Amino acid sequence: PPADVPEMPPCNFSPEKYTVRAKSYRMIAIRRQNCNPMTMKVTYYKKPVFIHQGYMQWLWDVDGRRYLDLFAGVATVSVGHCHPKVTAAAEQQLKKLWHTTSIYVYPTLHEYCEKLASYFPEPLKVIYLTNSGSEANDLAMLMARLHTGNFDIITFRGSYHGGSPQSIGLTSNAAYKYPIANGLGCTNTMCPDVFRGPWGGSHCRDSPVQTIRECTCSQGHCMANEQYIAQLKETFATSVPHRIAAFFGEPIQGVGGAVQYPKNYLKEAYKLVRERGGICIADEVQTGFGRTGSHFWGFQGHDVIPDMVTVAKGIGNGFPMGAVVTTPEIAASFVKGVHFNTFGGNPVACAVASSVLDTIREDGTQQNSLHVGTYLITELAKLRDKYEIIGDVRGKGLQIGVEMVRDKASREPLPPEAVHEIFEDVKDMGVLIGKGGIYGQVISLTL
């Protein structure tokens, strides 16, 4: 890296040396010939990073170069790569029992479900364990339709709720769409994005940093919120039947670019949805497990209680796992048929996930997200004030978006080639960051 780049903080961990040198030169060829071709499309960098080992916030490549990971495996590594406590829990369980299913009653599953349920308010106490966030959202769609007897589901434009055949209908971003029928019954409504959307001001959102847009609203009044709620009402009046099944919303849009809504939006939206027979579903795949700092769950920052919550990613610190959490009443509607998941609630997954909950508490991870995240957002806002191409800085805790623009006046997205250049430079400095937004214009820092 250039000589004027700040030096990386020290690290007292020594990674294992990568010795299989021949394979490192063949990885791209293997990726091209034997891996899903999509893996070539989603490589962020012109010269890819060949990851060999991880420890806490650090990653090492095959050449022994150390990187600071500010993307956490797409917002997944919630307590650090190969955290010793979580690793020990996995090793201990592997020696006892790798696999059985919920046909049998085994302690790991039941102890974990009880522990996870204790983190939710009443009446969210019934848990279905899955293998991923997409699978959790698929299941939530099915449960919502069975419980309500209705079919149509509303999501925000710019949302990401998974890539499975069902959940891709919830996802509203052209990059993830295929030219085939999918997600029948899913309707997208305007995202209440107070930076990029038609309306927004200087104190709309629950964030240490507000937008650069001016606002004349009196305290306690938000014109932007009223306008976005009016758009939701128009969706109800024009695009769906009078009775609907559900409304899906991320408390903060993740892949959409850490988009935050006006403070009271979800509270008012939930009321409108329930008036139309629908249930309210919070997709906490990225916002859950203390990442937003102020609360353990993102929905708590909006002062609402959903009817259903879907979680994944941080639930297992990277171990393939997800869950749907709902009420006894909704769960009772789901026994009309048999639902069985071979790997949902796998003993190793449950041991890992249980250790993650303990580690979050013991290490003070949620409090760290609040303090470090607030500091980082505030410092990034100083860069926004200094540079014309940084249009917005937003987020809560360690879910942060930095929106890159051509200029502040137009708020037009910075072109992809310019964003790519930034990514390459930051990577060459030894820092790995993420990308979000409909136009790939938002730098994602999600730890």
Q: Rounded distance, CA 252 to CA 381, Å?
A: 19
Q: Pairing between strand 153-156 and 186-189?
A: parallel
Using CA atoms, how far residue 411 sits from 53, 175, 191, 371, 381, in Å, is: 39, 21, 16, 29, 16
Q: What is the pLDDT of residue 304?
A: 98
15 Cβ partners below 8 Å, 6+ apart?
Answer: 52, 53, 55, 60, 64
Q: Where in the chain is the domain with CATH 3.40.640.10?
A: 86-363
Task: Give the number of other CB atoms < 10 A from CB of residue 121.
Answer: 11
Task: Give the number of other CB atoms < 10 A from CB of residue 242.
Answer: 10
Q: Where in the chain is the domain with CATH 3.90.1150.10?
A: 21-82+365-446
What class does CATH assign to 86-363?
A: alpha beta
123: cis peptide before it, omega within 30°?
Answer: yes
Cβ–Cβ < 8 Å for 289, 152: no
Cβ–Cβ < 8 Å for 71, 432: yes
Decide if domain 21-82+365-446 falls under CATH 3.40.640.10: no
- The closest alpha carbon to 310, from 444, 138, 169, 157, belongs to 138
- The closest alpha carbon to 367, from 446, 292, 288, 258, belongs to 292
174 Cβ partners below 8 Å, 6+ apart?
Answer: 438
Q: Tokens 């200029």 label which residue?
A: 407
Q: What are phi and psi of 75, to 5 degrees?
A: 60, 35
Residue 30 CA from chain centroid, whole number: 30
- With H, G, I as helix, E, B as strand and everything else as coil, classify residue 305: coil
Q: How many helices (H) and strands (E) does the chain have?
A: 12, 15
Q: What are the tokens at 400?
A: 């942060």
pLDDT tens digits, the chain, 447 residues: what are they? 556 778 889 999 999 998 876 676 688 888 888 887 776 666 778 888 899 999 999 999 999 999 999 999 899 999 999 999 999 999 999 999 999 999 999 999 999 999 999 999 999 999 999 999 999 999 999 999 999 999 999 999 999 999 999 999 999 999 999 898 888 999 999 999 999 999 999 999 999 999 999 998 988 899 999 999 999 999 999 999 999 999 999 999 999 999 999 999 999 999 999 999 999 999 999 999 999 999 999 999 999 999 999 999 999 999 999 999 999 999 999 998 999 999 999 999 999 999 999 999 999 999 999 999 999 999 999 999 999 999 999 999 999 999 999 999 999 999 999 999 999 999 999 999 999 999 999 999 999
Continuous H helices in 344-398: 347-363, 365-386
Strand partners, 436: 442
Question: 101: buried, middle or exposed (CB in 10 Å: 19+, 13-18, 0-12)?
Answer: middle
